[in-house]
Amino acid sequence: MFLVGLTGGIASGKSTVTKIFREDLNCACIDADIIARKVVEPGKPAYKKIRSEFGDEILLMDGKLNRDKLGSIIFHDAEKRQKLNAIVHPAIKKQMLWEICLYFLKGYQFVILDIPLLFETKQMLPYISFSIVVFCHEDQQLQRLMERNKLSEEDARARMRAQLSLSEKCSLCTYTIDNTGSKELTRQNVLQVHSKLCASKKHLFIRLGLLLLCFVAFGACKVFL
Ligand SMILES: CC(C)(COP(=O)(O)OP(=O)(O)OC[C@H]1O[C@@H](n2cnc3c(N)ncnc32)[C@H](O)[C@@H]1O)[C@@H](O)C(=O)NCCC(=O)NCCS
Ligand SMILES: Nc1ncnc2c1ncn2[C@@H]1O[C@H](COP(=O)(O)OP(=O)(O)OP(=O)(O)O)[C@@H](O)[C@H]1O
């Protein structure tokens, strides 16, 4: 099995593309944003750390995190964002590695990891064989973000500034998926990248590598025991 990192800018279309991989193409997909929500549920270690770092004013009446409030703090303050990242990212990585193992046991050829900050944090980069960037024009990104999250232009731009630009991300990846047109056009672009992933023999090399490692370990046991 090999891992594919899927990234892009905020609201550039990662979830839209992941949905096509998962629902139309039956691919194994893991979404870092969903994990990021799970690991900060009340009672989880990351929740307790966020509460002591940011205070009770970032909680809703029912004790859950007020995500809008926390977002409005961290997207306007790089130091606070760094503090939140330092609490949440290790928990996301741990959960993600666990979910990858489950897909490995199910025998998938590859798993797609939807990670918004793939190139910024670099945490999962050592494990990735191919990376994909979903891109659209900056003005489309701004418009889609403002509409979806009901944000002012200033707040939307602050969120966009918290990440590498889409052009920087495109220069770092293996494949790009153009999401500047209709969702149907994007679907066609996803199909093309999917066929390239399916044609890859990387999983065979990785399996061969693991097999060789087992032989070496077995040989070493025989010599030393
Ligand atoms: C600040 C929070 C509470 C805002 O929650 P909200 O529901 O409004 O947004 P959501 O989680 O759906 O994220 C939407 C998008 O914002 C961007 N984003 C989120 N966190 C960050 C961050 N720390 N730095 C830069 N961009 C970010 C990503 O593109 C993400 O896809 C939340 O985003 C969060 O907990 N962020 C820290 C964890 C993180 O880095 N998540 C990204 C996945 S690695
Ligand atoms: N090709 C498209 N045409 C029109 N609207 C689109 C297109 N692709 C995505 N959208 C819309 O833009 C918004 C952002 O898309 P999506 O949620 O897939 O982005 P994302 O990169 O996953 O966002 P985030 O970084 O916040 O997780 C959504 O409301 C979605 O419906």
pLDDT of residue 155: 96
pLDDT of residue 143: 98
Q: Is the pTM of this model over 0.90?
A: yes
On the question of pLDDT at 225 being above 80, the answer is no
pLDDT grade for 208, boundaries at 50, 70 and 90? confident
pLDDT grade for 118, boundaries at 50, 70 and 90? very high
> Which ligand neighbours the alpha carbon of 32 most closely?
1
Q: What average pLDDT does this structure show over 67-94?
A: 97
Pocket of ligand 1 contains residue 46 by CB under 6 Å? no
Q: Please say whether the beta carbons of 35 and 117 come within 8 A.
A: no
Among 7, 12, 15, which residue has the most ligand 2 atoms within 8 Å of its CB, making it the best to mutate?
15
Atom of ligand 2 nearest to the CA of 33: 27
Q: How far apart are the first and last CA of the chain?
A: 32
pLDDT of residue 205: 74
Atom of ligand 1 nearest to the CA of 40: 35
Distance 144 CA to ligand 2 centre (A): 6
Distance 107 CA to ligand 2 centre (A): 30
Q: What average pLDDT does this structure show over 183-208?
A: 90
> What's 26's DSSP letter?
-
Residue 131's SS3 state is strand
Long-range contacts of 15-21 (CB under 8 A, 24+ apart): 15/114, 16/134, 16/179, 16/183, 16/186, 17/132, 17/134, 17/177, 17/179, 17/186, 17/190, 18/112, 18/114, 20/186, 20/187, 20/190, 21/112, 21/190, 21/194
What value does the mean pLDDT of the chain take? 95
Q: Among 52-61, 117-126, 163-172, 208-217, which is the least confidently predicted range?
A: 208-217
Pocket of ligand 2 contains residue 7 by CB under 6 Å? no
139-176 pLDDT, tens digit per residue, is: 999 999 999 999 999 999 999 999 999 999 999 999 99
- One-character DSSP codes across 144-162: HHHHHHT--HHHHHHHHHT
